[in-house]
Structure 1
């Protein structure tokens, strides 16, 4: 198996330097451009990389970084401008659900993504470098529930006079029920500041009936290259499993409205129906009530969550799995 080597590139742009440390020699120029975008908000198509050459020509997106023979802390010069709409988005919660093309075949990609040495190396780097601020300690013998926020627990797009009007119905009842059998983690593709603000707004951080173990933000995610889709960011559960050995695919389930977020752990993800247009749907949305029953049943009757097919969660029969 090819050894995976970490690479640090220092980007020089607009009078500043930006260390790009989340790269390996097996990543491509396309992944490099994606990391530049995350640091600068300059879209890949707007980036002109002045001194990135391969065989005397500008390096193509499909060229691996190992082929470029970059020196340690190579200084990459870029010309490129952000766009007004991107700058505006930087001051607001990120709305990934609106702009990405979700993957319906994430489960079928596990051999090429879940077991890829390149991406496993990135997960290990997160385990090593990402600092978790634990709010509540893990409890012995509990399963793990990982929850997205936007469109999973909260409709952050619809207009409302109060934030609680955008809360998914039965949220606190759901979290109270889940807490009996699961330690709960919140993982959102936004910044930690916005996660903490949303949890405060919804009253999740002060509820006496349950506790959140910790929050994970976009910095805990990794970039994955999919040939026909390009580079996307995903939520690898290995970041948690590497730090908390009592959890694994045997006892972990993740809820998200975007299937591609499960790409590194396709069998552990359950795609929840997105909660949108809260003003129209808050009186009839019962998704969390139904999922409470599912979580309770699999905790009681399933010893290994790897045996479950979460796509068929609504038809789960405890008698067949006991």
Structure 2
């Protein structure tokens, strides 16, 4: 009996799985094995999209987001199916103007005295990223502004949507009363949604 159980486990771990990952309006085919980890899946997604594993958030039907957030979990322990599509939310490094602070409570003592007098906006590396973004960006006017209305610019990341949530469905990422807020704001302002994250 022990021999049969071992054979079953072995076949599951060696089985190749072909997943479809949606990101930025495109679909990517990713081939993995059952004995690969979530971290290896993210590494292969990175090879196709250039989105670093640390920037990736994976969404999958009927699967807890916390399991996909743990890079050490083996894919053979997850109910993945080739017939279902996985969504990846993430941004390539070149599209990030200023890197987000992973933990604002951690302070690097060595930074004081060196960069203390230099604001983030004045750092050359951030200026280069901003110049590259301005050069590459193409403005497409979809809706003209209403006369007499001021423009309200809202950042989608962590303002309209909670991207650190463990919700499985993207609709569950919305902040409470989001629609009511946008409806009330639109009565007085034209609204523009901005994000550095590729969600399309």
The TM-score with structure 1 as length reference comes to 0.26
Larger RCO (alpha carbons 8 Å, 6+ apart): 2
The TM-score with structure 2 as length reference comes to 0.38
